[in-house]
Chain A
Amino acid sequence: SQQGEEDPQALSIQEGENATMNCSYKTSINNLQWYRQNSGRGLVHLILIRSNEREKHSGRLRVTLDTSKKSSSLLITASRAADTASYFCATKIGGTASKLTFGTGTRLQVTL
Chain B
Amino acid sequence: DGGITQSPKYLFRKEGQNVTLSCEQNLNHDAMYWYRQDPGQGLRLIYYSQIVNDFQKGDIAEGYSVSREKKESFPLTVTSAQKNPTAFYLCASSFARSEQYFGPGTRLTVT
Question: Is A bound to B?
Answer: no
Q: Measuring CB to CB, which residues of chain A are less than 8 angstroms from any residue of chain B?
A: none
Q: Measuring CB to CB, which residues of chain B are less than 8 angstroms from any residue of chain A?
A: none
